[in-house]
Structure 1
């Protein structure tokens, strides 16, 4: 069936997922400080539909690294809190 395929028509279209990655990475190389928020949608008529690519294109490399750092820091802090020993933990496990 169509759902069982690895590539769908929206992946390989002119502005499909893979084309957006290529366009976005090329724009990030051409504009290292980003193109600005919501500019991709005005140029191509659709949004990127990918938060990582959007951060890279909108805010440039510095914004992308900041976003990545903040995301990883939040995940690490959450796991640190989640895995902390609690007095009632032995009753739950």
Structure 2
């Protein structure tokens, strides 16, 4: 978006629902490749810098009921996330 622009663009793909309630964005973080990660009520999504739609970062059902409140990425592009029950990490390939 050009500096000074007042136009915004919706990022599509973050549309999962639990009991007909839309995900709430709780955290946002960038990796070294300018990809954006969104922590929500029930998943983490990644919006890659060369794509037009966000996708689920975690596709595992066992993590689907967690709330992803905190996300951090270290200098090696390892992602750490704090949930309503634990702390996890995963390598970003």
Asked if Structure 1 and Structure 2 have the same fold, meaning a TM-score greater than 0.5 normalized by the shorter chain, the answer is: no
TM range (shorter): under 0.3
Considering fraction of residues, name the structure with more strand: 2
Rg bigger for which structure?
A: 1
Considering fraction of residues, name the structure with more helix: 1
- In the superposition, the TM-score normalised over structure 1's length comes to 0.26
